[in-house]
Amino acid sequence: MAAIEAQPFPFPARPNELALIVIDMQRDFAEAGGFGESLGNDVSRIGKIVPDVKRLLEGFRAASLPVIHTMECHRPDLSDLPPAKRDRGNPTLRIGDQGPMGRVLIAGEAGTSIIAELAPVDGEIVIEKPGKGAFYATGLGQALAEKGITQLVFAGVTTEVCVQSTMREANDRGFECLLAEEATESYFPEFKVAALSMIRAQGAIVGWTAHVDDILKGISHA
């Protein structure tokens, strides 16, 4: 066991049961002209975490620990897209519409892909998810069980939506969850702060949070 310095107290890492899950680091959320920007968001906030996410990826790869990527996306025929999700609000682009990088959040389109700097390598699992949480309507749970994973380190976006949703799903399924603070972000800085506080409140009710350097130190001898 390798204790990782974290809040609200050290995370009891078991490297042989630990994996990194990188949530939705997709072009449509992180790049100019994508879906995130079409909603009025400052996507540069997402771009700023790329170096820290990359450091985590490289650290887990160097330690030969499993890495999992998720992408929020839907089938081309929209059969897995509830009308309530597509029709909500009054955006300039809706899921499935043609955008600057192809159809918005549709599997196989350019904008749906993971940004080049963080692209999966051979052997890494990629989960296509139709919801905010990565367990709903996916094979994530089975993939983790097959690898004997009981602990998850989280990175990606956005902190308060897809990241926190997946952490809560994982927590309910008995996983121990650790969020890398510099490797996650929100379009709204106050939402990130609130989400971090909610996750680690009441004795890590959802999970722990830690700095990237402390996580890398903790897995360096895995």
Domains located in the chain, CATH noted = 2-219 (3.40.50.850)
Share of the chain above pLDDT 70, in %: 100
pTM of the complete model: 0.97
Average pLDDT, the chain: 97
Instruction: Tell me the mean pLDDT in the region 181-190.
Output: 98
What does the block give as tokens for 179? 């969020």
Beta strand extents in the chain (DSSP E only)? 2-4, 11-13, 18-23, 67-72, 98-99, 102-103, 125-129, 151-157, 176-185, 208-210
Q: Supply the residues annotated as catalytic.
A: 24, 129, 162
Phi and psi dihedrals of 13, rounded to 5? -70, 135
pLDDT given at position 33: 93
pLDDT given at position 1: 82
Q: CA triplet 22, 28, 29: central angle to 5 degrees?
A: 55
Instruction: Tell me the mean pLDDT in the region 168-180.
Output: 98
pLDDT given at position 221: 79
pLDDT given at position 131: 98
Please tell me the distance from the alpha carbon of residue 178 to that of residue 181, in angstroms, as a whole number: 9
Please tell me the distance from the alpha carbon of residue 89 to that of residue 85, in angstroms, as a whole number: 9
Q: How confident is the model at residue 158 (pLDDT cuts 50, 70, 90)?
A: very high
pLDDT given at position 127: 98
Share of the chain above pLDDT 90, in %: 98
Position 89 pLDDT exceeds 90: yes
pLDDT given at position 9: 98
Instruction: Tell me the mean pLDDT in the region 127-153.
Output: 98
Position 197 pLDDT exceeds 90: yes
Please tell me the distance from the alpha carbon of residue 22 to that of residue 156, in angstroms, as a whole number: 5
Position 222 pLDDT exceeds 80: no
